[in-house]
Amino acid sequence: MTRAEADAGETVWTDPGCPVARTLDLIGDRWSLLIIRDAMDGARAFTDFQHRTGIARNILTDRLRRLVERGLLDKHTATSGRRQVYALTPAGRDLFAVIVSLRQWGERHAYTSAEAHSLLVDEHGQPLPELRPTDSRGNPATLDTTSVEK
Percent of the chain having pLDDT more than 70?
Answer: 93
Question: What pLDDT does 39 receive?
Answer: 98
Numbers of helices and strands, H then E, in the chain: 7, 2
Give the residue from 21, 5, 85 showing the smallest Cα distance to 47: 85
> Mean pLDDT over residues 104-115, rounded?
94
- Candidate from 4-18, 56-70, 72-86 with smallest mean pLDDT: 4-18
Distances from the Cα of 125 to the Cα of 39, 51, 115, angstroms: 20, 25, 20
Task: Give the pLDDT band of residue 28 (cuts 50, 70, 90).
Answer: confident
| Structural domain boundaries in the chain | 3-93
Question: What pLDDT does 89 receive?
Answer: 98
pLDDT per position as a tens digit, 122-146? 999 999 999 999 999 999 999 999 9
Question: What pLDDT does 5 receive?
Answer: 53
What sections of 12-143 are H helices per DSSP?
A: 19-27, 30-40, 46-53, 57-69, 90-93, 96-109
Average pLDDT of the chain, as a whole number: 93
106: Cβ contacts below 8 Å, ≥ 6 apart = 117
Question: What pLDDT does 4 receive?
Answer: 53
Topology of domain 3-93 in CATH is Arc Repressor Mutant, subunit A (1.10.10)
pLDDT at 9 over 60: no
pLDDT at 12 over 90: no
> Mean pLDDT over residues 50-68, rounded?
97
